[in-house]
């Protein structure tokens, strides 16, 4: 038993990370790391390709309904670029530091970029509706400010959701003076 506890606390001499997982913790397998890296890379680069197809109009002829939702697809893919870029950066940083130790983190790397895409669309919609008070400058050819904001929401997905949570708590506060339901 003494050998096991000593083994759990040994650190790598250069990176100062654990050489062995603590008791009861499984490390990410190599195949899981590869799947996450490939997934995030495809999402990142594929979103650029999708925006390119949208920009050129190459998808409007085979899929005529694309023209009706084109603007939302710009926001969607901008959020995907932001979310996947952030999580690629986090994944590579944690990998280089030897900190990909908890196998449960795969959920964050897989699902957060997906959540960021929809959140980016919702964020721009909230701003355009006037609920969130930010004004965008109008351009004739493309809504660059909205697309940029969707990227930032995707990149800072968890921070935006925390702010949204605070706003919704204040907006729907039942103990506050604004709303008194009986």
Mind listing the pLDDT tens digit for each residue in 96-126? Answer: 887 877 777 788 888 999 999 999 998 888 8
Residue 182 pLDDT grade (very low, low, confident, very high; cuts 50, 70, 90): very low
Other CB atoms within a 10 A radius of the CB of residue 111 amount to: 12
Residue 8 pLDDT grade (very low, low, confident, very high; cuts 50, 70, 90): very low
Q: What are the residue ranges spanned by the domains of the chain? A: 17-171
Mind listing the pLDDT tens digit for each residue in 125-175? Answer: 888 777 666 666 665 665 777 888 899 999 998 898 898 888 888 878 866
* Helix intervals (H) in the chain: 2-9, 30-56, 66-96, 106-129, 144-155, 157-171
Dihedral angle, C-alpha 38, 44, 47, 52, nearest 10 °: -110
């Amino acid at each position: 038993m003494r050998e096991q506890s000593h083994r759990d606390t040994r650190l790598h001499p250069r990176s100062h990370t654990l050489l062995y997982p603590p008791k009861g913790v499984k490390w990410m397998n190599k195949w899981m790391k590869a799947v996450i890296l490939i997934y995030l890379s495809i999402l990142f680069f594929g979103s650029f390709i999708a925006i390119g197809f949208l920009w050129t109009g190459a998808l409007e002829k085979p899929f005529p309904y694309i023209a009706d939702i084109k603007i939302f697809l710009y926001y969607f893919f901008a959020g995907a670029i932001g979310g996947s870029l952030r999580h690629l950066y986090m994944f590579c940083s944690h990998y280089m530091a030897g900190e990909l130790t908890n196998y449960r983190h795969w959920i964050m790397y897989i699902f957060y970029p997906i959540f960021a895409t929809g959140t980016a669309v919702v964020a721009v919609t909230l701003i355009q509706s006037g609920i969130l008070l930010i004004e965008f400058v109008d351009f004739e050819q493309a809504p660059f400010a909205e697309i940029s904001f969707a990227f930032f929401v995707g990149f800072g997905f968890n921070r935006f959701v925390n702010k949204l949570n605070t706003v919704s708590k204040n907006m729907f506060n039942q103990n506050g003076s604004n709303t008194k339901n009986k």
